[in-house]
Amino acid sequence: MIQKEGAYADIFIFLPSRDPPLFCFTPPPLRGMIGGMKTIEKELFLTIEYPLERLGISRPLFLDIETTGLSPERSRVYLAGCLFPHTSECWGFRQWLTESPFEERRLLEQVSAFCRDFTGLVHFNGDRFDLPYLQKRCEEQGVSSPFLSLPSFDIYRNVRACRNLCALPNVKQKTVEHFLGIDREDRYSGGQLIAVYHRFVQTGDRELQRLLLLHNEEDVLGMPRLLPMLLYPEFLSNPPIGMPRLLAGPGMEAEGGTQRLVRETELLLSFPLEIRLPRPFSFHLGGWYASAREDSLRLRIPLQAGELRYYLPNYRDYYYLPEEDMAIHKSVAAYVDKDYRKKATPDTCYTKKSGVFLPLPPGMEPHTPETGSASPSEPVFRERRSGPGFLLCKDSLPGSLPFWKAYLAALCRSV
């Protein structure tokens, strides 16, 4: 066989038994049977607005693959791309493109060997697709695989947690890029490119090759640009905030001459942010409203004025007084006529308090070491025993910084 240099060559078969020798042209459908593999290398200058050391990988390799299907048993890898930092701004970029399905083994060998020079992989949904897929194809092709043994960081899994907080319709890479204001030239999905690849194998068309490489390149280059998105999940566990400043609340003059009714039923706080958000976010949750942009977050909290109950522990040690609608300890109840008292139950073992109350977000427990706010002696009030909790508002702003971190995290998780 004689193959011309290029993406796909015409094939000529030499038949020595004929005199003179006969050269036969091979039709286009057979072009893809003898294609080779292209390797593309570039150096790029990128500014990443996120400290790479926070990924926990000293020498990360950003990796993405394109395949002819979702099942590794019935499809193949035809393109792999990777990005790796040389310095803080200079990056290396490499792609491997098979010009024939028969070159998959060669691609897997080269990508596997290349990955071993790094201490971990960074990917988008690679835990669920790319890495298990590569592992299975390596097993099928008899190639030693590093893909499941290397430490890895899945951007998708970390961003998925803040989907509701950032009001994302889904967590596809292009959707997250759109939220961050990242533009693309590529307009294809991975699934749409399968047919493009098959046409490329048959024809060797350079425009089809450009479309394949462009999609993979923008997927790979998009990953480090997505890293600032990892700032948002922090609001679900340990919000990067400082101690709040009280803008409006009970017993103080609100900004702009706000009416007294508003001042008595709302608390308006401003939190400094320890980070700078790439894009703002906001949410409503019941009467709560939060809005964060750049380096600050404002939180509006609906206060509740009136009378609430404090449910006492160890109800067996108490008696309930129906006339007073309250419980007292049995040592005191001994002096109350038996006709005016009855043994307390979990639902009747309470005292009552009037005032202005701060609501606790769903799922927040104020008396834990993490919240460090309300001391164990500070009671949590409720309208009913299984209802949401409230803290009594006092003269100063309630809570410490750990309390407000736990408070905001509980709110964000409930969105």
pLDDT tens for each residue of 74-97: 999 999 999 999 887 899 999 999
pLDDT digits over 121-173, tens only?
999 999 999 999 999 999 999 999 999 999 999 999 999 999 999 999 999 99
pLDDT score of 8: 38
Q: Which residues, including other chains, have CB under 8 Å from residue 264's CB and lie 6 or more apart? A: 250, 303, 305, 356
Distance CA 198, CA 320 (A): 80
Provide the pLDDT for residue 28. Answer: 47
Lowest mean pLDDT among 203-212, 306-315, 387-396: 387-396
Report the C-alpha gap between 93 and 40 in whole angstroms.
8
CB 305 within 8 A of CB 249: no
Q: Which residues pair with 3 in a beta bridge?
A: 11
Q: Kindly give, in sequence order, each residue whose CB lies less than 8 Å from that of residue 347, ignoring residues fewer than 6 positions away.
A: 384, 385
Under 8 Å between Cβ of 373 and 406: yes
% of the chain exceeding 90 in pLDDT:
78
pLDDT digits (tens, 9 = 90+) for 51-82: 999 999 999 999 999 999 999 999 999 999 99
Per-residue pLDDT at 393: 86
d(CA 6, CA 99): 10
pTM comes to 0.80
Contacts with 137 (C-beta within 8 Å, 6 or more apart), sequence order = 72, 76, 77, 104, 108, 143
Q: Which residues pair with 233 in a beta bridge?
A: none
Percent of the chain with pLDDT over 70: 84
- Give the torsion through C-alpha atoms of 54, 48, 187, 126, to 10 deg: -20
End-to-end CA distance of the chain: 65
Residue 336 has which token pair?
A: 């109350």
What are the b/e assignments for 304-317, b being 16+ CB within 10 Å?
beeebbbbbeebee
Q: What is the pLDDT of residue 13?
A: 36
Give per-residue pLDDT as tens, 360-369. 999 887 765 5
Average pLDDT over residues 322-350: 96
pLDDT digits (tens, 9 = 90+) for 270-298: 999 999 999 999 999 999 999 999 999 99
Query: What is the Cβ-side half-sphere exposure of residue 325, based on CA atoms within 13 angstroms?
Result: 6
Q: What is the CA radius of gyration of the chain?
A: 32
Annotated domain spans of the chain: 35-231, 239-312+349-415
Written as one letter, the residue type at 415 is V
Residue of higher predicted confidence among 142 and 251:
142
Q: Which of 36, 51, 62 is CA-nearest to residue 88?
A: 51
Query: What is the pLDDT at residue 88?
Result: 78
Q: Which of 1, 143, 114, 133 is nearest to 66 (CA)?
A: 133
Q: Determine which helix (DSSP H) or strand (DSSP E) holds 83, and give its type and residue range.
A: strand 77-85
Asked whether 130 and 65 are in contact (CB, 8 A), the reply is yes
Residue 376 banded pLDDT, cuts 50, 70, 90: low
Do residues 368 and 403 touch, judged by C-beta distance below 8 A?
Answer: no
Q: Is 311 helix (H, G, I), strand (E, B) or coil?
A: strand
| pLDDT tens-digit readout, 110-128 | 999 999 999 999 999 999 9
CATH 3.40.470.10 fits 35-231, yes or no: no
Return the minimum-mean-pLDDT range out of 114-128, 240-254, 317-331, 340-354: 240-254
